Amino acid sequence: MGTRYGNETANTAFFGLIGVSRREINPPLGIYARNWGAGSTDISVGFHRPLTLTCLTFQTYAGEQPLVLIGADLGWWKSAADELKLRKGILDSLGLEESRLMFCLSHTHAGPSLSTADADKPGGEWVEPYLGQLKEKAVDAVLEALNAAALSTLEWRYGTCDLATNRDLPIEQERRVVVGFNPTAEADDTLLIGRVTDADGNVTATLVNYACHPTTLAWDNRLLSPDYVGAMRELVESRTGGLVLFLQGASGELAPAEQYVGDTEVADAHGRRLGYAVLATLEGMGNKETILNYSHVVESGASLAVWNRRKMAPSAQIAAVRSQVAMRLKDMPTLSEIEAQWLACTDLVLKERLWRKKEIRKTVGEGDTSAMPLWVWRIGNACLVGQPNEAYSGYQQSVRAACAPVPVSVINIVNGYAGYLPPEDRYGDDMYAVWQTPFAAGALEQLEKQTIDLLKQILS
């Protein structure tokens, strides 16, 4: 995905007050952490790498309500009530409008439970206190970022990384699609990097928007871990000096080819692979606040087009919109019917699936449609899109194509969670993303259209 347009490269920059901060968010060891139905244990015994929360704030001027972007090494929300309590606590503590906060989960599958409904499970008594600590640390991080905010420039560049592969594997003899590496299908390899530099040209933060499930570590792993994100972050921060904020892209059908292991070195290798792609993209960005501009032709053995770097004028514009998408729901059992099935089930794998189905039913309600939130931000000459579900990568591809050359960061699992958003033409397949999702066929396409409409409005 390029950012060239006409006779110069695109001006993606924002100039304003940008704050950066981080908190470690390791939960107490022994907290309930069963993320895999195939797992044999309920709690983790140690840490592979620290879990962190990274915060960036954006303002045009001091005193303006900031845009607050938070990235946390956490999995997903099982309960809409738990997520809303945390987010409302942050908003109320900061006096912040709902449209101006995105709390983004990396989607690690080696993190602690975030569901207070797990209180009766081994280590489940730690979940509610942990969520309270998470809220306090998030508020502290935002306040620190705002207090330290300095005039800075945010610029974007697209790159590529081939870590992500397609994970919808057809098993023809079984007439179903399983979740695992499909070497015959293409995968979106788009990487979007945001670089924040201060007045002296020092890198203070790097935003990494990439779509790939952190499912390297699975049922044989007993350590809490950010998965591949941890090693990526360590590598990039060691080279740039700034903090890294990871944003999980539209990764519904994307994951590493090698996954479901207990070996943490595999996750670290994945992270370094992504990290070097991030560094390569940063190398291509050039000096702060410059773009390549077509200059003239030099006649030599061939007619040579000369492009030179020139200073550009960054934008100071900020805008935030929160909308809702009324998504039609599939025909589903009622909440009481799912609860009865769960109580009667003795198979651990099926019981885990029913538990998740029960929590999803609570989240979307029992009507014919469910209002799913959508956040669209403009920061200078770039946009960020956040939504709570697991959209397939076609969503980010369509959104970016519609807005080119403006870079668009597309983020899954923002401010909530309900389920997958596979393309309409996959609903005839026997596959996890289709039977897991509460949404009817066409929901992804509906989200795509509304997102593009909102982006065009905010950019105009």
pLDDT in tens, the chain (460 residues): 344 444 557 788 999 999 999 999 999 999 999 999 888 889 999 999 999 999 999 999 999 999 999 999 999 999 999 999 999 999 999 999 999 999 999 999 999 999 999 999 999 999 999 999 999 999 999 999 999 999 999 999 999 999 999 999 999 999 999 999 999 999 999 999 999 999 999 999 999 999 999 999 999 999 999 999 999 999 999 999 999 999 999 999 999 999 999 999 999 999 999 999 999 999 999 888 888 889 999 999 999 999 999 988 899 999 999 999 999 999 888 888 888 998 899 887 888 788 778 888 888 888 899 999 999 999 999 999 999 999 999 999 999 999 999 999 999 999 999 999 999 999 999 999 999 999 999 999 999 999 999 999 999 8
- Stated as kind and residue range, the H or E segment containing 239 is helix 228-240
Q: Is residue 46 part of a domain?
A: yes
Domain extent at residue 108:
4-287
Measuring CA to CA, which residue among 135, 111, 431, 94 is closest to residue 248? 111
**First vs last C-alpha separation in the chain:** 22
Q: Is residue 108 part of a domain?
A: yes
- Stated as kind and residue range, the H or E segment containing 176 is strand 176-179
Neighbours of 387 (CB within 10 A): 27
Q: Is residue 427 part of a domain?
A: no
Q: Is residue 358 part of a domain?
A: no
Q: Is residue 392 part of a domain?
A: no
Q: Is residue 89 part of a domain?
A: yes
Say how many domains are in the chain.
1
* φ, ψ of residue 268 in degrees (nearest 5): -65, -40
Q: Is residue 330 part of a domain?
A: no
Nearest-angstrom CA–CA distance, 389 and 114: 16
Nearest-angstrom CA–CA distance, 178 and 221: 21
Q: Is residue 153 part of a domain?
A: yes
Per-residue DSSP letter, 315: B
